[in-house]
Structure formats: C-alpha cells, structure tokens
Amino acid sequence: MELEGQWWKGQLAADIHQALRYKELKLPSYKGQSPQLNLRRYFADLIAIVSNRFRLCPAARHLAVYLLDLFMDRYDISIQQLHVVALSCLLLASKFEEKEDSVPKLEQLNSLGCMTNMSLVLTKQNLLHMELLLLETFQWNLCLPTAAHFIDYYLSIAVHESDLHDGWPMVCLEKTKLYMAKYADYFLEVSLQDHAFLNYAPSLVAAACVASSRIILRLSPTWPVRLHRLTAYSWDFLLPCIERLLVQ
C-alpha cells in the first residue's frame, strides 16, 4: 500500500485509516464463481508457506491471496498454471508491499521443496508474462486494502489498563498486549483460509479479529466504546464475522 512503516503510530494515522476505508469501498466485486474454488484453500496455504519462508509481511501475504481470489474468480485456470498464478501474485504483492531486497528471487522460488516435489520449474519469461496479465487484469491498480492493512491500527488501542480480565483488574498490561497481537495474527490467518470472508469489508474482518482475540483473552467489556469509535463498527454488526472466525 506504499504506507510508511508503523503509520498507525503517526500523527496522520486517522487520516490514513479514513483513506483506506474509502479505498475499500471501491474494491472489485468477488462472486466466488471460480471452477477451481475447491483448490483455493490449497493455493492460499501455498502462498502462506512461501510467504513465511521468505519472512514477508502480513500485508504482502494478504494482498497476494486477495489477488489470487480475484484472478481465479475471473478465469478458468489449469492446476499447473495455478501454481504459476499463485506465486506470481505473491511476487507482485511483495514488490508492492516490501523493500526490494525482501522480494523472493526466481532461483529461490525454484529451490523450494514444494516446487521440486511437483517438478515445477518457473522461468523468468513465464513469471513476467503472468505478472503482466495480472497487472492488466487489475488495471495496474494494486492499491487494494486487506484486513492486514487495518489490523495494527486497531491493535494500537485493543488493550487498555482499564480493561478487566476475568472481571478483575489487569495484572500485566504489556503481557496482555503481546497475547492480543498473537491471537489477532492467528485470526487474521484464519480469515485467509476461507473465501467467505471476502463477503465482509477488510476493515470489518480486522475489527472482528481484535474482537475475537478479546473474547479468547476473556477481556471485558468485550467491545469497549473506544474500539467501537475507532473502527466505527458496533458489536452486533461484527458478530456474524466473529462467529465465523471462532468456528473455523
């Protein structure tokens, strides 16, 4: 998203958040009509595995899966070609979200175990051709907000010293914040595994990840006024997405 590092801590955080909320209103429609929809989970997991292997940021991983979802939704693609599409989505997303030296190299991708197991060899020409097709499909616009783009802003106030834990005052604020970040990251990854989460706005998914984490951590009130105001989502509005996250 070409955002400054840790933008949620800066003076322009509220303005950037509003800009992201405006952009999500203009996201492409998703119909869930891919003939290969049953393979979607496998390729989302593949992107996550490769992303973790190269320690790419969550924003790159989520953007890559989102690009894959949109592309699969529009085309009937062979399984062999889907591997190239998925990895091209990850490369494009990492080029957009990461610094240049963090972007995976062709030889590194080809050396991965998942590639050698399938006897799949990527070529520079194939990847460039696929990247160009992807860019043309999205009209050269990769500025597409995902839940990962919102989560840190919401996490910035997800835990407060006024919160109660099991009805008692909090013993260790910093430790609770660490657990909150871990659970929110877990639920964020859960949201990648099911295309049904594309029915919700990315900011809503991010807010639901925070709310689900507060439930697991037994914090009260479950959805405090400060989070309602920051996210502009009420508890009732979040509940369907929260329930889906908790039963995955």
Can you count the helices (H) and strands (E) in the chain?
Answer: 12, 3
pLDDT of the residue at 106: 74
Radius of gyration of the chain (CA): 19
First to last CA, the chain: 28
Largest CA distance in the chain: 61
- Residues 35-66 pLDDT 10s: 888 999 999 998 998 898 889 999 999 999 99
Which tens digit of pLDDT belongs to each residue from 168-210?
Answer: 888 889 999 999 999 999 999 999 999 999 999 999 999 999 9
* 165: helix, strand or coil: strand
